[in-house]
Structures are given as C-alpha cells and as structure tokens.
Structure 1
Amino acid sequence: MAQRTDFDLDLEERRRLLDGWVATRRQIAALEAESYALLVERIAVHDSDVSDSPHHREAIYRSMVAEYSAAGRISKGSVEYAFTDARTVARSLPATHAAFAAGAISARHVHEIVRASEVVDDAIRDGRVDADTMALYDTAVLVVAEQDTAPRTKAHAGQVAAALAGETVVEQHRRAAAERCVTVRSVGDGLAALTAILPEWVAVAISDRLAQMARHIARTRDEREPVLAPICDPEGSLHLGDLSPEDPRYESYFEAAAIAADGTHVSDPLAGLIDPMADPASPDIEHLPGDARTFDQIRADVLADLLLAADPSEANGTGLENISARIQVTVAARTLAGEDCRPAELDGHGPLDPDVARGLAGRRSGWARLFLDAQGLVRETDSYSPTEQMRRFLRARDQHCRFPGCRMPVHRCEIDHNHDHARGGRTRLDNLSHFCTTHHSLKHPDIDERHRWTARQTSDGSLTWTSPLGRDYIDPPRRRVMFV
C-alpha cells in the first residue's frame, strides 16, 4: 500500500474546506427559502387586514414593509422585492420553490427567475398564452439555474420568457424605452451617482466603447510626457529648434531669451519672435504629472470628457477617435427580412427589439449566418476558412468566457488551444474556446501544478475544467433553439 504524502493530506484538507463551504451555501439557501415561507404567511395576514379595512390598504402595506425593514436592518426596496419574490414563487413557480427549499438555487437565482416571469404572467393575463405556460417556464429556467450562476440564469430566463410569450417581450421593450432617463444621486464625500436608464443594447455599446478607450489610454500613457502648449506663439515666431548651433542668432537666444527673426536683440521676451517656452527644459514650462489613474478612473474621466467636451481630453490621451462600440446580436434570417417579428438576441444579455436588430444590420457589415444542428448548437458559419471565419464561429458559439459562470464578452477574451499547441494540440474548432485573461492564466504552464487548472473540450463544445483538487466543472455551450 502506497504511503500517503504531505501533499495528499494537504489536498484532502482543501477538499474538506471546499465541500464544507458548498454544503454551508446550500444550507443558507434552504434557510432563505424558510424565510420566504414566513413572508408568505405574513402576506396572508396582510391580505386579511386589507379585507377588514380596504380603505387603508396602502397604510397597511407600508407599515408591514417598514417593520420588516427595521427589524432586519434591510432597505425598504430589498424588503419589497423579498415579499414579491416569496409570493410569486409560492403561488406560481412550484418547481423553483422546491429547488430553493432544497438549497439547489440561491435567493439571487430566485430573484432573477421571478423578474423574468413577469413577461409570461402579462401574456397569461392578456389571454395571449395559456395559463399552463407558466409551468413550462418554471421547468425550463431550472435547466440552467441549478447548474449555473444567477447572471447566466437571468439571461436564460429572459430568453425562455420571450419565446413562451411570443411578441410580448417586443412590446414590453418598446414601452420600457419610453422610460429612459438620467438621474443624479449624491453618494457623499463630494461624489454623486449619475444613472442613465437606456435601451440595453445602447448601454452595452457605451460600456464597451468606454472600456476600449480606457484600455488605449492606459496602454499608451507611458509613451509620452504630457505638457501644456506654450502660452503665446506670435505669428512668424522663430523657435530655438529652427536654428542650428552655427547660426549667430543661436547664442543670442540664451543671452536675451528672445530675438527678432532678423537677429536684432529684443529685451522684452513678450515682444520677441522666439518663444522661450519652446524649450522643454525651460523652468517656465508646466509639465503635467504622469497618468497614474486606475482603469475605472480612466473610464469615468473619459465619460465625463465625452459628455462635457464631446472629445476625450488630449492632455492624457489621443488617437481615440476611431474606436467604435461593439455588441453582438443574433437574429433569425426571417426576422431580419421582416417576415416575422420574433425578438432578436443581444448576446450575453437577453432579447432585443427586432426593429433595432434590423437597423443595426442595415448599418453594419460582417454579419455571419449560423448553421445549427437539431439541438440548436452552432456548428459552422458561411464562407468558412481556417482563419478569420474560425474566429467568427467561436465568437458566435461562445459569446463569453467559457469558464463556468464567467460572463466576460468574447471581444475582451483570448482564444485558447485547450490542448496546448506546443504539446500537439491542433488548431480546430473543437480545441478552441474563449477565455478571459484571468481564467486563461489559470491553465498557463508557468503555474505550479499544485495550483494549475486544465480545460478540455468535448465534441458538443462543452468545456470541462479540472481544478487542482481534481474536481470537474462543466460549462456547456449556449443553445440557440428556444421553446416555440
């Protein structure tokens, strides 16, 4: 029998801690479900109070929310959301309720599932779909919720709700667009939160353009020393750089700080035709400090520059005018041609108004036609080639980093050979996938094997990540076929 090493014991301890943490998280979720059950009971008391005093409905509700907010030291809005989630799950989403009670999903998952269910609920109340449509939604969302993060559940739930409710989501988006606004809220210490409520595709594009511009500034800020322009530069002035050392006027510059173009000595520097500030070594010139801003600070400054001056400040970065925002949209050919009005998809986020998708398609080139198999998985694109077309295929398939739960969009990721190219891995679609910088580095060969992850891809495009503890975590590819 092989003797157990210190490394084996260390791995066992790490696994014990991980298993304990996962088990505790499940217990927390189960306890959250119990707290929701108590909220449902409280709602019943509230309804009874309202039936006895219908004219005081608002006061009864406000009093209930205020009491729970004070007792739990939770904001009013969070308490209201909790009551809404508890009531909806208990009354309309039995499968979600059971998964929550078992600790299989968290309260954050429940919140996202409930929010998306409102689209289906509206369609049922308006008579556009049958009442049993909610049961289909309840079952479908758990396919992802029990295996993935709450943000991915949100995107999946939105797609399921849109498909089941038909065109309701399009109408909802158009109504919501009328509510776009900009607000300012003080957050203290001389700061304020500027909030813009915009169509999602616009907000995503703005965020992407800000990120691109900030990266450009951060990448090039060490290539220059920013300086302020000279205070004055009279027309026809002659600068030191215009003279050779042999020119008799060259020495006069240092004697008087200014000379006329014909070599005449000028005692008043402001009347001179050579500007002393043209010399970078002049003590009179003002040098700006080096750019030491963080990435988030640069993004905030660029946003302010764009809104206030319509152009990023040249003091800390130029060459940004050609940067365009990027978003990725999936739309069926029939919808693009105007033959139906099914929602398109803003990849990684959710449904998109088909009119917006058609407008984007009319203004941009580079759209790729996707060929799907029976399960809805992307297999190839048109005009396939081993280079750029492979990248287009991978962008369409992956949408975001393929580490489980990560939603970093593909244009901010790197394409990785899952089986290292240096070790014989081939440049094939079933060996390539997008990883963000953080997760890509996890499998880098320079990392000690005790901390290194591995990733392998199966024929269906699923990625299996194996942790240093030997645990497998699977990230399946996004599916395109939804419920009809």
Structure 2
Amino acid sequence: MDVGCPLPVDARAEYDLLAVATADGLSPGRLRSRLAMLAERLHPTTITERHHRGRDTRSVRIVTGQDGMSDLIATLPTVLAVGISDRLTQQARTIVDARGNTNETLTDERTTAQLRADILTDLLLTAAPEADPTRTDDGPGTLGTIRARIQVIVPALTLLTPDRENLDPAELVGHGPLDADTARTLADTTTLPWDRVITHPITGAVLHTDTYHRTTAIDRHLRARDRHCRWPGCTVPATRSEVDHTHDHALGGETTITNLAHLCQRHHTQKQFTRWTVKQLPGGVLEWTSPTGRTYTDEPLPYSPAVRFLPDDPPPPDPEEGSPPF
C-alpha cells in the first residue's frame, strides 16, 4: 500500500505498526481507505492545506494511443471525479435497462464501459447525451436529469473545528480522506438530508442513526396529531406553524414523533430564547414549565371516535331470598 508514502520519515515507524494492526481481517480494497485515514491522522499538515496545493495541479491532457485511440485524462478534486464517474455509470445503466423495456429489435450492444465513454463524449461536445432511450419526439428524455451521488462521512467536531481534521478526517467513502473545507461546502450547499450516526466512543461501532430532516410520513402524523400550535392555549393551525424538536436535535434529540411538535413562530421563538422549558410525555403530551416553576400540560385534541363503545346495562339485582319472583 502506497498511501503512507507522503508521510514524513519520522512518522513512518508509527504508521507501519498501526497499519499492521489495522490490516487484520480486512480485504485489500477496504484496507486501502482505512490506511489512508490512518495516514491523515499522522500527517503534520492538514489535508485542507495539501488539497489547496493539489488543486493547482488540476488539468486535462491527452495521451495518444494506438489504432486511432487516445486517453483523455482529467486531474480533478476526488469528490468531483467520483461524482462524474457515478453519473456516467447511472446514465449507462439506464440505457442498458431500457433495452429490456422495448419490443424493438436489439441493435445497441454496447457494454457499460463503452456507453460511459460515449455519454461522456456527448455531454462534452453537445451538452446532452444523444444516446438517450427515453427521448421522445416531444422533447429530451430523462437521462439528462440523472445526478451524481457520493457518500461522505464528516465527524461533527471536524465539521465545526477545522483544527481537528487530522485527528478525525472526513471521508469520501470508498476513496479516502476528504479535506474539511470541501466537506463543509457540501454540508452547506446540499439540499439532501444528512444522516446523523451515533457511535460507541471506544469501539466506533454504530449505535444509532437518525436525521434532522423529517420524512413525509412523520409530517403527516404530526399534522394529524397536533392540528395547531402546541403552546398551551394557542390555536394557530399546524399548517402555519413550525415543527420543533422538543429536546434540541443539537443536544441529542431524535427526529421522531415522540420528540417533535408544532409551534407557531412566536412560541417557537419563546421556547428557544426564554427560560420556558418543555418535555414530551407519552402520547404526544407536552408538559411546559414557566420561568417561575409553574407547569402547564397540553394534550393533543382527541378525534371523535367513529365507533363508540357503551357499557353494558347493569344486570338486574338478585331477588332477595324469600321474596316472590314478581
């Protein structure tokens, strides 16, 4: 493995010892990314500093080959290169999958690798993939709507504290360390939800995962349960209210129906910036405590049941002993 080569000579011995311990039971493919993360922890300069220098080497060049073929080589930031590769692969597979959805005689026998090369050529020369099986006479197909996917893991402290990035670097899964600046840029600009992963502080094993962003099912449930702002006495409809984490998400609160409730903007602000506190009890009941210590309970308004169960009529009293049965 050459991932330890950039390390200074005085760090190689420690790297070798830790690399041997890390290698136990790992395949070569998985070991490489683990060793890359290990090397980052031992490097005297941050990956952000080295990445800024590395970006200056980005380029596109041609290596002329044989039989009228050449290699077009682009040196790019890894996160962009992985995204480009992923998008090309998705588009190529869309073309392959479309072959089985048509009754026409099979004429396109290109492999996935050949399709990736052809789509890249189309995109660069015409800005649109010509080999789009979903194209219709009314307009372009869906091949161009496919977007790149990458998986990034960013430790929370690394995201917040740049000086920690060597201790616990961000990772572009399957490819190795990612500089903190790029990780923060992705976190700030993406419209997709990030998953929070809670790990064991010693073993690193995953204990729990959740996300700050709510699912559609959670939103439907909360609107049906709350119907209005859950501040005691407030009647602002849920459709004009904000969904609040009862126990702050930044402090470990989960994004579940047992920790979410609607609050209008006024009362959301009051909860956040005053000494009012709240805890959520089973059944979506909110128990509010004022700055003076007085408690107020707000319960979800029950729906009128479609079926009502009435108690049975009480049985007639037993006749007294010796009395006539009429």
Paired with 1:299 and 1:225, the residues of 2 have a C-alpha distance of: 24
Where does residue 152 of structure 2 map in the other structure? 329
TM-score normalized by structure 1? 0.39
The CA deviation at 1:315 is: 5.8
Paired with 1:308 and 1:191, the residues of 2 have a C-alpha distance of: 17
Q: Is the 8 A contact 2:196 2:211 kept in 1?
A: no
Code of the aligned partner of 2:110? R
Task: Kindly indicate which of the two structures has a greater share of residues assigned to strand.
Answer: 2
1:377 and 2:205 correspond:
yes
Q: Is the 8 A contact 1:167 1:341 kept in 2?
A: no
Q: Which runs of 5+ in 2 are unaligned?
A: 135-140, 217-326
1:175 and 2:53 correspond:
yes
Equivalent residue for 1:190, pick from 36, 51, 68: 68
The CA deviation at 1:134 is: 2.7
CA deviation profile, 1:400-419 (whole Å, cap 9, x unmatched): xxxxxxxxxxxxxxxxxxxx
Code of the aligned partner of 2:196? R
Q: Is the 8 A contact 2:3 2:35 kept in 1?
A: yes
1:367 and 2:190 correspond:
no
Code of the aligned partner of 1:335? T
Paired with 1:300 and 1:225, the residues of 2 have a C-alpha distance of: 26
CA deviation profile, 1:193-252 (whole Å, cap 9, x unmatched): 1111111111111111111111111111344589xxxxxxxxxxxxxxxxxxxxxxxxxx
Where does residue 12 of structure 2 map in the other structure? 134
Paired with 1:195 and 1:321, the residues of 2 have a C-alpha distance of: 23
Where does residue 356 of structure 1 map in the other structure? 182
Paired with 2:210 and 2:26, the residues of 1 have a C-alpha distance of: 31
Structure 2 CA distance for partners of 1:383 and 1:312, relative to 1, 3 Å: closer
Paired with 1:157 and 1:139, the residues of 2 have a C-alpha distance of: 12
Structure 2 CA distance for partners of 1:146 and 1:333, relative to 1, 3 Å: closer
Task: Kindly indicate which of the two structures has a greater share of residues assigned to helix.
Answer: 1
Q: How many residues align structurally?
A: 203
TM-score normalized by structure 2? 0.56
Structural mapping, 1:68-147, within 5 Å: 112=1, 115-121=2-8, 131=10, 133-145=11-23, 147=25
Code of the aligned partner of 2:193? G
The CA deviation at 1:301 is: 0.7
Q: Is the 8 A contact 1:120 1:161 kept in 2?
A: yes
Superposition RMSD in Å: 2.7
Q: Is the 8 A contact 1:141 1:153 kept in 2?
A: no
Q: Which runs of 5+ in 1 are unaligned?
A: 1-111, 125-130, 227-287, 389-484
Where does residue 221 of structure 1 map in the other structure? 99
The CA deviation at 1:344 is: 1.3
The CA deviation at 1:299 is: 0.9
Equivalent residue for 2:172, pick from 339, 346, 361: 346
Code of the aligned partner of 2:152? V
CA deviation profile, 1:305-361 (whole Å, cap 9, x unmatched): 111111100564531122111111111222223454513111121111111111111
Structure 2 CA distance for partners of 1:166 and 1:328, relative to 1, 3 Å: farther
Give SS of 2:198's match. strand
Where does residue 319 of structure 1 map in the other structure? 142
Q: Is the 8 A contact 1:155 1:350 kept in 2?
A: yes
